[in-house]
Amino acid sequence: MVDESIFEENVEKKTEEENGDGYMEIKMGGGWYMTISLAHSDRFEKEYVELAKERGGVKKARFNLNPTHARLLGEALIKFADNNEL
């Protein structure tokens, strides 16, 4: 299981009040952050969850995820961590 003190220490929740889009960042070390945000595509007129690796405000790598799969990904990550004693 995840130690709550470690989780609270490494995760900051931020919410943009203007448009209601959620934002969360996780400290990874060495100045790197994993950011999770809800974004909207004007081109395709759909929402998606963006997972990005960021340093100094610059996104180095990112992955766009259909919001319907966000919970499944979270549950799969928890199961993976439990099975591998992480």
Task: Count up the domains in the chain and report the number.
Answer: 1
Domain containing 47 equals 4-83
CATH number of residue 47's parent domain: 2.30.31
Per the model's pLDDT, the better-predicted residue between 19 and 52 turns out to be: 52
pTM of the model as a whole: 0.67
Q: What is the pLDDT of residues 37-80, one digit of tens each?
A: 998 888 888 899 999 999 988 899 999 999 899 999 999 999 99
Q: Which of 22, 27, 31, 30 is nearest to 12 (CA)?
A: 27
- The pLDDT-based confidence of 10 (bands split at 50, 70, 90) is low
Per DSSP bridges, beta strands 46-55 and 58-65 are: antiparallel
